[in-house]
Structure 1
Amino acid sequence: MGWLAAGEGYEIALVDGKVAARSTRGAGKQLKTLPKALRDHSEVERLRRFAEWLDQHAAACVAQVDAWMVSSLPVPTGLLGRVWPDEAWQVALRDLVVVGDDPDEAGFLRDVSESGELRVVNLDGETVRMSAETVRLPHPVLLPDLDDLREFAAELGVTQKVEQIYRATWTKPAEEELAPKATSVNEFSGARFASRFALTARAESHGYRVSGAYAICGVRDGGMRAEASLWIGEPYWDGDGETGSLSWNDKDGKALTLREVSPVAWSEGMRMGAALYAGRIVERTEGK
């Protein structure tokens, strides 16, 4: 974005997401602070509102891409081609691992043509073109070469705006290791907080929904919808907060047995439990 006239002798622009000003006199050097004469100027206020909109738009792009990744649903490449020119979409999508028609061929997304042809860097370090009607942005628990992808990403210096390959994952135990009728796990039970409000605040700060006595993580794993629910106590309890068991329900609210929980729903539910559990009060022993 270029510099815009604002008041006599000044121009303004967005620089690193904030309104900056420069004088039109002399060398036109950018000023360290916004002059008092411009603070209430209509053009400055308009630019501030535009900056807020850009921030909200960028956050919405990241949230949408994260939803595609967690759900592992196919995304039309034509859609990616239409949104790619938008810098906010590029930031959210760039360097995510994508998979096309061949599930064994994954690569880091680097570019998308207007027609939807993808340019990716594969595990051999080669830049290849991927032509498919749809691609997936797989959840990391579904990536068979996750360790190799992480190692290669470190070599390339890859950073992802949407947490994918470095996302904390939990592998679901083998079916024979799970009791047939078990519907909950207690791995994150007993985490104590100063108050239920503190526990609720932690859940919400990590993006989880709180409903009634539970912190909830909704997951759409392909065609299956599920919710992971962690007990955090009754809403109006004014004493200490403490976590309880973690369980999963289907889209109709029916409790799922642990054997019925999908790998992605399992990983995301356990991730929520770990995030809340990590904020617990840790008792210190004397001398430590």
Structure 2
Amino acid sequence: MAWLALDEGYEVSLVEGRVAVRRPAGRQLKAVPKALRDHPEVDRLRRLAEWLDRHEAACVAQVDAWMVSSLPVPTALLARVWRDEAWQAALRDLAVVGDADPDEVGFLRDATDAGELKVVNLDGETVRLSPRTVTLPHPVLLPDLDDVREFAAELDITQRVEQIHRATWTRPEDVKDSATEVREYAGGKFPSRFSLAARATGLGYRVSGGYATSRVRDGGRTVEAAVWIGEPYWEDESETGALSWHDEEGRAVRLGEVGPVAWSEGMRMAAALYAGRKIEEGGNA
């Protein structure tokens, strides 16, 4: 962004998303001088920086939602938003699959105005694709995920939206299909229900009533994973409870009917909550 002239020869601009000021001689200051903090141009740029932060977060959240739900995204839409740096940062290097060849995985590098995608395939070749839609698959659905991760490491790929290195869980073969709860991550103690709820919201999960929840679209069906975190307004020590899944009518889903993405995302939420528990020390730990 260009530098804008202020009073007494100072100049102001956005540098790496933050308001920066430099002296007439060109030296950039470490902080905005007190005399300029209320200047209209400084305030305007500060508001712009805040909007850009919100926009970047919204782009990441939307792309993450596409990926978690494995929703088909029109190629024309990707081409349209690619010019926006925030969208581009959220989309670049994500593994994509075109509707014409669902077995061909590539890492997205560019989207042209003509609706053409440039991807690096698993042979290391840059190819051009023109599918009508693409899917940003959840990693649990990617065949040979370990090979994809190894290849990504060779390319030094870094993803703004966690995809290929996202922690995944698969449903055990010995799970009781008629059961409706998983207690693997139950019993994690927290100083209070408030601290447990704060951890849930801090991780991006919704807190509703006594549960932390995550809504997932899996195979055309929407389910909600839920972990019990305690009654609202409970002020004493609290702990994580069982993980369960519910359909759109609120009915419990049997474990044998939980899809692979919903299972993985539910376990991921339960594990992330449990990881923040109090760790006992001493002889009784």
- After TM superposition, the score normalised by the length of structure 2 is 0.97
Cα contact 1:6–1:44 (8 A) shared by 2: no
> Corresponding residue for 1:240?
237
Question: Aligned residue pairs: how many?
Answer: 284
**Structure 1 residues 287 and 198: alpha-carbon distance in aligned structure 2, compared to 1, 3 A threshold:** closer
Matched, 1:29 2:27: yes
Q: Paired residue for 1:159? A: 158
State the Cα deviation string for residues 34-59 of structure 1 (Å, max 9, x = none): 22321110100000000000000000
Q: Which runs of 5+ in 1 are unaligned?
A: none
Find the residue that maps to 1:284 and give its secondary structure: coil
Instruction: Look up the match of 1:127.
Output: 126
TM-score after normalising by structure 1: 0.96
AA matched with 1:16: E
Q: Any conservation in 2 of the 1:227–1:249 contact (CA below 8 Å)?
A: yes
Structure 1 residue ranges, 4+ long, deviating more than 3 angstroms after superposition: none
Q: How does 1:69-218 map to 2 (within 5 A)?
A: 69-100=67-98, 101-174=100-173, 177-218=174-215
Partner in structure 1 of residue 273 of structure 2: 276
| Contact kept in structure 2, 1:170 and 1:266, CA below 8 Å | yes
The alignment yields a C-alpha RMSD, in angstroms, of: 1.3
Superposition deviation, residue 283 in structure 1: 1.3
Residues 73 and 222 of structure 1 are in contact (CA less than 8 Å); yes or no, is this contact kept in structure 2? no
Structure 1 CA distance for aligned equivalents of residues 158 and 254 of structure 2: 37
Which whole-Å CA distance do the structure 1 matches of 2:187 and 2:29 have between them?
54
Question: Matched residues in 2 for 1:86 and 1:253: separation?
Answer: 39
Helix, strand or coil for the counterpart of 2:31? coil
Q: For 2:38, give the aligned amino acid.
A: D
CA distance in 2, matches of 1:110, 1:171: 30
Code of the aligned partner of 1:97: A
In 1, Cα distance between equivalents of 2:105 and 2:260:
20
SS in 1 for 2:128: strand
Question: Where does 1:22-61 land on structure 2 (aligned, <5 Å)?
Answer: 22-24=22-24, 27-61=25-59
Q: What are structure 2's unaligned runs of at least 5 residues?
A: none
Q: What's the counterpart of residue 67 of structure 1?
A: 65
Q: 1:224 aligns with which of 221, 240, 246?
A: 221
Shift of 1:23: 2.5
Q: Secondary structure, in 3 states, of the residue corresponding to 2:44?
A: helix
* Partner secondary structure for residue 8 of structure 1: helix
Give the secondary-structure state (helix, strand or coil) at the position aligned to 1:184.
coil
Aligned 8 A contact 2:210 2:231 in 1:
yes
Q: Is the 8 A contact 1:73 1:221 kept in 2?
A: no
Deviation at 1:286, TM superposition (A): 3.1
SS at match of 2:194: helix
**C-alpha contact 2:216 2:262 (8 A) present in aligned 1:** yes
Verify the 8 A CA contact 1:181 1:257 in the aligned structure 2: yes
Q: SS where residue 7 of structure 2 aligns? A: coil
Contact 2:95 2:105 in 1 (8 A): yes
User: Is 1:14 the counterpart of 2:21 in the alignment?
Assistant: no
Give me the whole-angstrom Cα distance separating, in 2, the residues matched to 1:119 and 1:15.
30
Does the aligned pair in 1 maintain the 2:190–2:196 contact within 8 Å? yes
